[in-house]
């Protein structure tokens, strides 16, 4: 059992490597991975169920303790990333399917990987978890509404159908995970220990399926999409940090906002694109899934060298957490 948990931890820490490896394999041998496309939605449901298993009332404590900070994070996430996506599509005059895919990933909620990166960056993990949880719970309303508002000029967007898709693949699995945790309690501890392994396998499979289905189009426009994803993610990380600075938040919270704004639930983006648009529209989400884990790791390493504010250390000490400089 412990060996499986250790394997899970190793796979979780090397997530970006596995995504890169299988994305490359799917590109050069697409026939071996196309069959996974039929299981993208169930795979995402498994990831969300796992998220539900890890949620507790303590994760939402920050919402009531410092609602203004959580509000800033959620507002920044749902304004900055969708706005940047739309602006990049306009300025770069992206092809229709690519534009829709970029906007779609920009409108997704925050990804859970941002919580890990915030911890590594010595940021405010409680704020990070709260923003991730709240943006995920708000996703059935905000994600389809924003996609309809920003992408409808390129393609018809059925916001109602997308709403029900997100309810089915996000809210329902999370709710079942929370219920399972409440009922089974200690019995789910082992399951939580192997969740990184399950999540990595599921995300890698989703990325491989998307790459395999769009191999020819990626070969033609992959460099353009990659450049847009790097710009989108990089500007999101920068503007998230600046948002925290402008609103007077201490350094640890600025780090959390940077990663919460810049990192997306790209698995959801790939699933929605495949279900409602086209395989090519899912490619920005697939590339984002690879890139934001690399950029997130790099920015977290750099943030480690940025001293936190005295206010951060005092708050950490008051909550019984290790105060990190």
Domains and CATH numbers, the chain: 14-304 (1.20.1530.20)
Residue 97 has pLDDT above 50, yes or no: yes
Residue 248 has pLDDT above 80, yes or no: yes
- What pLDDT is attached to residue 320? 47
Q: Give residue 125's pLDDT band: very low, low, confident or very high (50, 70, 90).
A: confident
Nearest in space to 289 (alpha carbons), one of 1, 22, 4: 22
Contact at 8 Å (CB) between 276 and 161? Answer: yes
Q: Give residue 230's pLDDT band: very low, low, confident or very high (50, 70, 90).
A: very high
Residue 314 has pLDDT above 60, yes or no: no
Measured distance CA(123)–CA(70) in Å, rounded: 14
Contact at 8 Å (CB) between 299 and 259? Answer: yes
Q: Backbone phi, then psi, for 177, in 5-degree steps?
A: -65, -40
Average pLDDT over residues 280-304: 83
- What pLDDT is attached to residue 1? 61
Residue 264's beta-bridge partner residues?
110
Window from 213-222, 226-235, 256-265, 273-282 with minimum mean pLDDT: 213-222
Contact at 8 Å (CB) between 163 and 144? Answer: yes
- What pLDDT is attached to residue 232? 95
Measured distance CA(190)–CA(258) in Å, rounded: 32
- What pLDDT is attached to residue 77? 93
Average pLDDT over residues 31-59: 79
Please state, for a pLDDT cut of 70, what percent of the chain lies above it: 91
Average pLDDT over residues 41-64: 76
- What pLDDT is attached to residue 73? 92
Residue 84 has pLDDT above 90, yes or no: yes
Average pLDDT over residues 201-221: 79
Q: Backbone phi, then psi, for 264, in 5-degree steps?
A: -115, 160
Q: Give residue 253's pLDDT band: very low, low, confident or very high (50, 70, 90).
A: very high
Q: Backbone phi, then psi, for 153, in 5-degree steps?
A: -75, -20
Chain centroid to CA 171: 15
- What pLDDT is attached to residue 325? 41
158 conformational bin, left if phi > 0, alpha if psi -120 to 50, beta if neither = beta
Contact at 8 Å (CB) between 89 and 103? Answer: yes
Can you read off the two tokens belonging to residue 196? 């990184």
Higher pLDDT, 288 or 324: 288
CA distances for 202 relative to 18, 78, 267, angstroms:
11, 25, 9
Residue 8 has pLDDT above 90, yes or no: no
């Amino acid at each position: 059992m412990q060996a499986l948990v250790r394997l899970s931890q190793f796979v979780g820490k090397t997530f970006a490597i596995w995504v890169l490896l299988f994305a490359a394999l799917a590109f050069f041998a697409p026939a071996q991975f196309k069959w996974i496309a039929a299981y993208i939605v169930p795979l995402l449901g498994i990831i969300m169920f796992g998220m539900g298993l890890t949620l507790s009332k303590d994760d939402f404590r920050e919402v009531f303790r410092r609602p203004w900070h959580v509000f800033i994070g959620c507002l920044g996430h749902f304004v900055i990333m969708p706005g940047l996506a739309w602006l990049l599509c306009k300025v770069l005059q992206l092809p229709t399917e690519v534009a829709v895919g970029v906007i779609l990933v920009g409108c997704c909620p925050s990804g859970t990987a941002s919580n890990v990166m915030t911890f590594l960056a010595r940021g405010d993990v409680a704020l990070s978890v709260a923003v991730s949880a709240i943006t995920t719970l708000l996703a059935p309303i905000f994600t389809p509404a924003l996609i309809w508002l920003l992408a409808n000029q390129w393609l018809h967007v059925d916001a109602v159908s997308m709403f029900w898709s997100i309810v089915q693949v996000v809210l329902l699995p999370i709710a079942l995970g929370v219920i399972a945790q409440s009922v089974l309690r200690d019995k789910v501890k082992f399951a939580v220990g192997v969740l990184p392994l399950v999540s990595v396998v599921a995300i890698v499979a989703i990325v491989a399926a998307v790459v395999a289905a769009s191999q020819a189009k990626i070969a033609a426009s992959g460099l353009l999409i990659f450049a847009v994803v790097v710009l989108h993610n990089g500007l999101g990380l920068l503007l998230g940090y600046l948002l925290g600075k402008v609103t007077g938040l201490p350094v640890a919270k600025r780090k959390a906002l940077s990663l919460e704004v810049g990192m997306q639930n790209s698995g959801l983006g790939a699933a929605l694109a495949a279900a409602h648009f086209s395989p090519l529209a899912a490619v920005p989400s697939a590339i984002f899934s690879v890139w934001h884990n690399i950029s997130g790791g790099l920015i977290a390493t750099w943030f480690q060298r940025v001293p936190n504010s005295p206010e951060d250390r005092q708050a950490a000490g008051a909550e019984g957490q290790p105060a990190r400089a």
